[in-house]
Structures are given as C-alpha cells and as structure tokens.
C-alpha cells in the first residue's frame, strides 16, 4: 500500500478540523437564533395560540359576536393571587374591549413577575390582537400590594374571511405569571392599590 506524502495528510486533516469547527460554530449560531426565530414565527402565524400586537383597533366592526373568556394561573414559585375581574365579555369582531386582572402579592417581600399568554383555540391566535397589556412588561408588587392589570384587545375582522374559523364563537385568553428578576426601573402598566 502506498503512503500519502506528509503534506497531503496534513491538508486533509486541516480540512477535517475546519469542517468540524464550521459545523460546531454553525450549530451554536442556530441554537442562539432558535428562540427569537421561533418567537417571530409564532407572532406572524399565531402558532400555538400566540396573539398579535396592534397600535389600534380597526375602524370597522362586524355583526359577528365573540365571547372572550379569561383564565389566570400562577407558577408554583410565585406567591401571588392572580385572577380575572370578569369571567367573560361579549364583543363584536373588530370592536376594541378592555378587561382587567387583579394580582396580590401574598408574601412578605417584593416579587417581580412576568406573564406568558396564549389563546385557545390556538388557530384563533392569528386574529386576536392586543393593543396594550400588562403582559408586555414585568410587574413588581411589594408585600401585600394589590394591582389592577388591564388588557386592551380586539378580534381582527379578517377572522370572518377564514372559513376554518366559522364555528369559533368563544376565545379563551389565558395568562400564567412566573417569578422573574426585577428590572432596575420598572415601567408602570398596572394600577396600584393600597
């Protein structure tokens, strides 16, 4: 068997090392970009019940009525009582609505929370838009503090064009609060109660 010259062995080894290094770097970049890319995908498509954001409600409403149900949850780690102030509201498609949640810090220390959210049925997420929401920022409550947290929303009239959603008459908006690290200067999005 003929031996390859030392130069060709070194070049082949260098190519293999560079290829492996390129694969590792590429995998690192892909894993770093996965979360923001997945988030963008969910926001564009409404996948997984992800809601949309809007600056304002549309100018027109339709006669189609929707019942919006409100759900609230807390993770095991956050010592808050968190509930919707209303169980449901009835809105016309395209009509802006305002709903409120109440949170109370049941602990003896300041606690910061962040809310995750979705809507069900998930396919309605593409047409459920929030204008403003307490879930857009972290919320910090002092010990025993109570806060009223608003969410302004509408159901996009384009839902009427989607024949797969003709049977939808009720959408559930659900939030879950998780404890998180406090920001240095929290933004006020909730009404604080003494």
- 183: domain CATH number? 2.60.370.10
Model pTM above 0.85: no
Q: Are residues 57 and 123 in the same domain?
A: yes
Q: Are residues 26 and 89 in the same domain?
A: no
Q: Are residues 125 and 188 in the same domain?
A: yes
What was the pLDDT predicted at 52?
Answer: 64
Question: What are residue 46's phi and psi, to 5 degrees?
Answer: 75, 10
Is-cis flag, bond preceding 121, omega within 30?
Answer: yes
Q: Are residues 113 and 175 in the same domain?
A: yes
Cα–Cα distance measured from residue 64 to residue 169, given in angstroms and rounded to the nearest whole number: 9
SS3 category, 120: strand
Q: Are residues 107 and 88 in the same domain?
A: yes
Q: Are residues 65 and 28 in the same domain?
A: no
What was the pLDDT predicted at 8?
Answer: 77
Residue 18, Cβ density class (10 Å: 0-12 exposed, 13-18 middle, ≥19 buried): exposed
Q: Are residues 22 and 80 in the same domain?
A: no
Cα dihedral: 182, 185, 188, 192 (round 10):
70
Q: Mean pLDDT for each 10-residue chunk of the chain (194 residues)?
A: 68 82 77 53 47 72 94 91 96 94 95 90 89 90 95 93 93 93 61 54
What was the pLDDT predicted at 45?
Answer: 46
What was the pLDDT predicted at 160?
Answer: 93
What was the pLDDT predicted at 31?
Answer: 65
Structural domain of 111: 52-193
Q: Are residues 40 and 134 in the same domain?
A: no
Q: Are residues 108 and 151 in the same domain?
A: yes
Q: Are residues 122 and 79 in the same domain?
A: yes
How many domains in the chain? 2
Q: Are residues 68 and 5 in the same domain?
A: no
Residue (of 157, 167, 171) closest to 60 by Cα position: 157
């Amino acid at each position: 068997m003929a031996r390859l010259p030392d130069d060709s062995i070194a070049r082949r080894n260098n190519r293999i090392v560079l290829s492996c290094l390129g694969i590792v770097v590429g995998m690192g970049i892909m894993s770093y970009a996965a979360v923001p890319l997945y988030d963008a995908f969910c926001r564009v498509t409404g996948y997984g019940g992800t809601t949309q954001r809007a600056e304002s409600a549309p100018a027109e409403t339709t006669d189609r009525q929707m019942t919006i149900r409100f759900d609230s949850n807390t993770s095991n780690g956050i010592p808050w009582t968190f509930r919707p102030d209303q169980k449901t509201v009835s809105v016309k498609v395209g009509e802006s609505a305002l709903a409120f949640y109440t949170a109370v810090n049941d602990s003896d220390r300041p606690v910061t929370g962040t809310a995750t959210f979705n809507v069900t049925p998930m396919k309605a997420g593409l047409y459920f838009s929030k204008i403003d929401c307490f879930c857009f920022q972290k919320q910090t409550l002092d010990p025993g503090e109570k806060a009223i947290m608003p969410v302004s929303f509408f159901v996009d009239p384009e839902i009427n064009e989607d024949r797969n959603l003709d049977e939808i008459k009720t959408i559930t908006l659900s939030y879950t609060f998780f404890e998180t690290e406090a920001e240095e200067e929290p933004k006020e999005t909730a009404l604080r109660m003494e």
